[in-house]
Every structure is written in structure tokens, then in C-alpha cells.
Amino acid sequence: MAGPAELLLALFCVCVLTLASGDGNSPWSDIIRLPSDESLDGDSVGTRWAVLVAGSSGYGNYRHQADVCHAYQTLIKGGLKEENIIVFMYDDIAHHEENPRPGTIINHPHGQDVYAGVPKDYVKDHVTVENFFAVLLGNKSAVTGGSGKVVDSGPNDHIFVFYSDHGGPGVLGMPTYPYLYAGDLVNVLKKKHAAGTYKSLVFYLEACESGSIFEGLLPEDLNIYATTAANATESSWGTYCPGGLPSPPPEFDTCLGDLYSVSWMEDSDVHNLQTETLKQQYHLVRDRTSNYNTYNLGSHAMQFGNLELTDEQLFLFMGSNPANENSSFVNGNNLPVYSTAVNQRDADLLYFWNKYRRIPEGSLEKVNAQKQLFDVMAHRMHIDNSMELIGKLLFGSKKGAEVLNTVRPAGQPLVDDWDCLKTMVRVFEKHCGSLSQYGMKHMRSIANICNAGLRKETMEDVAAQACTVIPAGPWSSLSKGFSA
């Protein structure tokens, strides 16, 4: 007579044979699963699409293109097809004269090159808001330049969007003008939904005040889930910066990545994404981005839209690297803790300072580097002082700062009239020069001028009084145009 061990073995063999026969009605099919049954069939989830955007230019912004190149490598290893990934980046970093490793980009102090193989779909002056919107909507006729690739998605497809850049309240930067405004972005997402050309869409956003892009604007019924590196009132953070822990290789003068961005990618690079959900990754990224709830050199990662999507597996949007098949997500997983990060808005100062510091004394190069540093600092002071004076002229010396810095209650959008915001931005830049990536921090002040009901003519008069001369140099609105 067979013993208990033999009976268990026989029962197991019967279950395996039943499962192997493909009979989905087996009473055992919901109890015992073969490892291969846990894998999702790539064809069964529709086509995966991805749009990756680095919204800056200049070697001091190395980290944004590094983030996007790293994201591309993660998705390719996950099984997404190159023809379904559209990349926007200015492409001035890998071969920049200051790059100590010409032709390569790294996103971690000990990381490999992430630039190789990245398609140049939209580069240089083709990295525009108009092209980004056309690509999202699948509108080939509206694209100018570039590869012409668009998200030609269908109703069963899943779309992943990752955008890494500078930002401000209600605005995201671009290496070209105009910038991207939150009201316009959400309107495009609504159009995409109305067209019925996706099943679900996930949007990861790295930027200062990135929560303001979706807060009070993104409806819950679009089947879109968005996470942001920061809430609506705080900066996001650069990481792997000179002087930090860990630091980049000593030959680098600039940050290699952004804290929120490297957090989701370094998690995706090591786990089986068929076993990890959007919710689980959000919690990991939120903890690391907050510096494990201390918010000391960290920010509040946020989530918006349809939160029911967070139960979906990351595999639906990013695929999964087969090499990680045995690295399933388990509760208790965490990401590395690093003690230093740099406010995104100050990362350019760190870059210009380190560049100046490294150049030998007495050289013309040293003089030029010093001028760059002083010009950046002077521009910051000019923008800050101009906005402060405009507030005093509009609302009085006592109430000016209070009105400009007012933060609306949580759940409300930054501004009610987005056209007014863009009009007031143009008026400011006409008289006071470009806001630039630093000046985006003042978008809340300009929005509050609109929320107070002031007219364009009043703003024209006050801006002309506050700024009697348009500053010369790289931040002149006369040479660059307007950011709105």
C-alpha cells in the first residue's frame, strides 16, 4: 500500500498533467499554477507604447537626458519594441565638449552607458510642445521634423509617458519655447481619451512643483494614472551630484540623475515586473524620494487620476526583463538610502561653481567660467527682484508678497484662466526678460495676479515701471521669444 508521500506525489502529477492539458475547467486550475502560467502573454495585453521626454538642454542639465536614456534601456530590456518608443531629447550631452566620457551618458556613479542605441526621434529644435502633443494624439500630419513616429495606438493598448525636466507651478520646461502648460496637457489627455485610442495610460513626471500639473485638473474617469516627483509647492531633487554620497566619478561637474526618476528605474531594473504593481512601485519610490519620510533633502511623491489602476502590474506598461524572472517583488523590498541630494533649482549653480573651481587660475577659460556663474546669479536676482516689485506695485508694499505667494487649497488648480496666465507671462517677459528655467518658480505669483482679476493693461503698466530695461544676454526675451 502506498504511503502518504507516494500519494501526495501521485496527486501532484495528476494536477500537473491536468494543467498541461490546457483544460481551464479543471477544479485544480485555480489552486495550483505552474511557474510558466504566471507569465503574461505580451500579445494579450495589447501593444505597449512609451513616450520619453527630456525637456531641457545644456550640459548643466545632464541628468534629464540621462534619466530618459536610462528609461529607454529599461523599456527595451522589458521587451518593448523600438518602433513603439518615441524619444524626445535635445541630444547635446553625449558629445558635449565638457563630457569627460565622449559619446556616452551614465545615470549612476557606477552605471554603464545608457546612450547607446537610443533613437533620435525628436532632437534639437524639434523637441517642442507641439510635437509632443501631436505624438501623444497620434497625429502624424501635425508633427514637424523628427522621425515622424507617433503613438498610433488602439483601444486595447497601454501607454507609458515619462517626462523629466525643470518645472514650476502649472508649467513644464522645454529646450524650445513655448513651455508646456498644465491646462494644455490635460486637454490633450482628454482628447486622447475621447478618441478611444488607449485602454490605460500611466504618466511619470519628474519636475519641481510637478503635482501642480495634475492637481485639480486630471479627472479620475480617463483611465489615466499619474505620479509626480513633488507636490504642487515644492522642488524635486537631483541626485548623484558632485560632493554628494555617492558622488559621480570625479571628472563629472554635474548631477547624473534625479531622485524620483532613478528610484523608479533602479527598482524596475532589478525586479520581475510581472509580480510588481504600480502601487507597490509608487510606495517604494515615495519612500526613497522623501528620504524615508524625513523630507530632509527630499520631496512628496504624489499620485493623481484613476488610482484603481495602481493594482495593475508594471509589466502592462514597461514589460519585464527576462533576466529578472526569479526576482519577484515581495513586501519589505526597499531602495538604497543616500544621504545627499540637490534641489533641482540649484543644480545649475552647483554645476557652474564646480566648473569654475576646477579650471586653473589665470586662464581665459577661468574668466569665462566666472562670468557664466555671475551671469546666472545676476539673472536670478533680477527675476526675483522684478517679481517682488511688481507685487508691491499691484497690491501694495504690505500685501504684495502675501498675494503673490498665496497657495490655493489642495484639490484646486493653480489658476482658473490659463489663457490669462500665458498672457501675463508674455507681458512680464516683454518688459523684464525671459523667466527661464529658474524663473518658472514664479508662475504661482503670475497665476495669482490672474486670480485677483487684474487686466493685461494694468500688468503692462506695472511691468514697464518695474523693469525699465530688458536685460541683455542669453535670457533676453528679444532673442529667445516668449515661454508662453
At 198 the three-state DSSP class reads coil
In whole angstroms, what is the distance from residue 366 CA to residue 364 CA?
A: 5
Q: What are phi and psi of 304, to 5 degrees?
A: -145, 165
Do 34 and 16 touch, CB atoms closer than 8 A? yes
Residue 255 among the catalytic residues: no
Supply the Cα-derived Rg of the chain in whole angstroms: 25
Name which of 198, 203, 197, 200 is nearest 185 in CA terms: 203
Cβ contacts of residue 39 below 8 Å, gap of 6+? 274
Residue 208 among the catalytic residues: yes
Burial class (CB in 10 A: 0-12, 13-18, 19+), 70: buried
In whole angstroms, what is the distance from residue 329 CA to residue 309 CA?
A: 18
In whole angstroms, what is the distance from residue 124 CA to residue 135 CA?
A: 16
Length of the chain counted residue by residue: 484
DSSP labels, 156-167: T-EEEEEEES-E
SS (H, E, C) 40-68: CCHHHHCCEEEEEEECCCCHHHHHHHHHH
The one-letter code for the residue type at 262 is V
At 57 the three-state DSSP class reads coil
Task: Name the catalytic one among 70, 108, 158, 166.
Answer: 166
What stretches of 138-247 show up as alpha helix (H) in DSSP?
Answer: 182-194
Task: Name the catalytic one among 208, 420, 450, 467.
Answer: 208
Which residue numbers are catalytic? 166, 208
